[in-house]
Structure 1
Amino acid sequence: MRAAVYRRPGPAAEVLEVVDLEVPGPGEGQVRVRMVTSGINPTDWKGRAGLTARRPDGFQVPHHDGAGVVDALGEGVVGLAVGQRVWLYLAAYRNRYGTAAEYAVVPAAQAVPLPDSASYDLGACLGVPALTAAHCLGGAPEALKGRTVLVAGGAGAVGHYAIQLAAHAGARVVATVSSPEKQALAEEAGAEHVVRYRAEDAANRVLDLVGPVDRIVEVAPMANLDLDLRVLARGGTIATYAADETLTLPGGPLMSANATLVFALLYTVPAEQLAAAIRWTSEVLAAGGLTALPVTSFPLERVAEAQDAVEQGTVGKVVVRLGDGSGRSPRGGWER
């Protein structure tokens, strides 16, 4: 099979290469998936760049997310069938066969049925962003009905699915963005209101539109902390999935609000909570409540450019396309 690999951390153009590898067979409890679309997240380029602790064991096929067709079942696998469409999450976590290849091998639990109504591009957009969003929203849609949710960075991948999951659960959703282009994306995702967070009156604008908010899905906790504390309802929750910097927290305002501050990293989410996020995401997907982000696509041979595009902050989702679901590979035939 053709696969992207890196053998050491470093810049994309220096360490990523496309090579021929033997097609791996699924072990016990695993499935092999013929990949159609491989989605790229910030965690993918950060791991390749060496910004995380993990290093390749010989080689690493990158990318956690993707969508394709089950090609082979390992011993003991139930609930999936050869030929079934699936979306994958955390494929490259503790596994050298990520989704940036013509075939990926993953534990069966990490291959989730993809409805016929959902495109492979949509399937590749899910994974880390949608499950992170579901977890940050509390993993329980019933608790959101009639509540108010603020989604910071509503045009990002996690923000996109936080808006759609919360709205589908019956919450009022307000999002913050930085530009007219991103405002349009958040509105298209289903946010009831969208506020430019760089405006001087952003917090007042949120309060005027929806009043105090019960839960905040936060992409930049330090940058947005003042706004968050001004709009958070008493007993409210701030759930952040991007807290790489050192946080300095004002204890008094947080205590006065009886606020809960939640940190989310999908790799270490407890199994039962991850299962709840998968169920919720799958239910809303089957109901047609989730959509793909704007997609920028690259062929496998340009995987280094694709990762660089994510690192440079391309709006929407960057993917690598590997086939069309029929077993045919584009082999460079896709256009960006």
Structure 2
Amino acid sequence: MRAVEYSVTGEPEVLSLVERPLPEPGPGEVRVRIHRSGVNPTDWKSRRSDRSGVAVDPPQVPNQDGSGVVDAVGQGVEEALVGLRVWIWEAAHLRPSGGTAQEYAVVPARHVVLLPDVASFDLGACLGVPFLTAHRCLTVTEDGPTRLGPGTLEGRTVLVAGGAGAVGNAAIQLARWSDATVITTVSSPEKGHLAARAGADHVIDYKREDVVAEVRALAPHGVNTIVEVSPAVNAALDAAVLARHGSVAVYANDGGSGMELPVRPSMVPNVRWQFVLVYNAPDAWRARALEDVSAAVLDEAVRVGDDAGLPLHHYSLEQAAEAHAAVEGGAVGKVLVDVRP
């Protein structure tokens, strides 16, 4: 079978297309015939690592997210799974041969989730890292819900920084499904159109408008939850618009290497700064998140593509290096590798 791997850290060019033996699933595992492989920032950051030129042994098959059809199961796994459509989460995490940038991937059975017929393989490959991250960000607020779904965020206001990004898009869609009022910030009118298509109630262009004034006009008592992609830049702004007992969920730090925490403005209203990384988040949360994201898919409440504010960029397996370069270069939307047409 064809697979993409890297045996040394570095630029996208370290990715190579190779032939590998067809893997067999072990106890508790399933083999998935991959249709789509999703590329996330953590995929290229892992490939690049802190230093280029470091040997990776055994070679790593990249990409955490994907979708496809269960092709075989190992001992202890229900045979009924064979032939079912699934989406995959954290395929490559601590698993050198598990990434989705290959024709067949073997992963633990708990890392596959049923993909209903109403959902495309494109959508399935977009769900893992972005939607689980967004779910975590939306469920860490003091006295907030631990589950998402219709009505769970009713009466609450969510501010999504960078609503045109993949996690921002997921957060908007999940928050709207849960009946929150959603405000988002963007850097251009074009990105504003994408955030509006995702379902944001209010879109603020931070390069042309006073974000604090606009948010306070929309939410006089402040926002309950902020989904933050750039805390080094936005920390003071976030503290100025948070409601009492609100939270800032930080899942990245675009535009900076550190941040100055606004202590007094955060202390007085008893707000929370929560840092989010899905790979080592609590297991109890993960089980809830997988169920909730699956329910949103079944409800047809989450979508991908231009109409959903998340343009899709397709690459072939042979173009995996170009796909990684596109994400690393800040492509707006979601990059997918079409393992099968």
- Fold match (TM-score > 0.5): yes
Is residue 2:338 matched to residue 1:321? yes
Distance 2:203 2:106 in 1: 40
Aligned-partner SS, 2:81: coil
Who is 2:265 aligned against? Answer: 253
Instruction: Pick the aligned partner of 1:275 from 272, 287, 290.
Output: 287
The answer to whether the Cα contact below 8 Å between 2:233 and 2:259 also exists between their aligned partners in 1 is no
CA contact (8 A) 2:70 2:81 kept: yes
Who is 2:49 aligned against? 50
Unaligned 5+ residue runs, structure 1? 325-336
Q: Residue 123 of structure 2 corresponds to which residue in structure 1?
A: 122
Residues of 1 paired with 2:92 and 2:124: CA distance? Answer: 16
Residues 172 and 200 from structure 1, CA distance in 2 versus in 1: closer, same or farther, beyond 3 angstroms? closer
Give the 3-state SS of the residue equivalent to 2:105 in structure 1.
Answer: strand
Quick one: distance in 2 between partners of 1:323 and 1:176? 36
From 226, 240, 248, the equivalent of 2:236 is 226
- Name the TM-score, length of structure 1 as normaliser: 0.93
Q: Distance in 2 between matches of 1:238 and 1:273?
A: 18
- Runs of 4+ in structure 1 deviating by more than 4 angstroms, as ranges, are 52-55
Unaligned runs of 5+ in 2: 140-145, 305-309
d(CA) in 2 for partners of 1:200 and 1:305?
A: 35
User: Aligned in 2, Cα 1:173/1:205: closer, same or farther, shift over 3 Å?
Assistant: same
Contact 1:219 1:242 in 2 (8 A): yes
Q: Deviation digits for residues 281-329 of structure 1, max 9, x if unmatched?
A: 11111100001121111111111111000000010001110114xxxxx
SS in 2 for 1:175: strand
Give the match for residue 333 of structure 1.
none
Distance 1:231 1:80 in 2: 50
Structure 2 CA distance for aligned equivalents of residues 218 and 118 of structure 1: 28
Letter in 1 for 2:325: D
Alignment of 1:1-336 (within 5 A): 1-13=1-13, 15-51=14-50, 56-78=56-78, 81-96=81-96, 97-138=98-139, 139-141=146-148, 143-211=152-220, 212-243=222-253, 245-292=257-304, 293-324=310-341
| Native 8 Å contact 2:152 2:179 kept in 1 | no
Amino acid at match of 1:6: Y
CA pair 200-101 structure 1, distance change in 2 beyond 3 A: same
In 2: Cα distance, 1:17 partner to 1:175 partner: 39
Shift of 1:220: 0.6
Moved more, 76-85 or 36-45: 76-85
Q: Give the distance between the partners of 2:223 and 2:276, measured in 1 at CA.
A: 20
For 1:300, the aligned partner's letter is: L
C-alpha contact 1:46 1:52 (8 A) present in aligned 2: no
CA shift at 1:79, angstroms? Answer: 8.7
- SS at the partner of 1:106? strand
Aligned pair in 2 of structure 1 residues 29, 176: CA closer, same or farther (>3 Å)?
Answer: same
SS in 1 for 2:7: coil
Alpha-carbon shift at residue 110 of structure 1 (Å): 0.9
Per-residue deviation, 1:51 = 3.3
SS at match of 1:206: helix
Q: Distance in 1 between matches of 2:80 and 2:165?
A: 31
Structure-2-length-normalised TM-score: 0.91
- In the alignment, residue 32 of structure 1 is paired with which amino acid? R
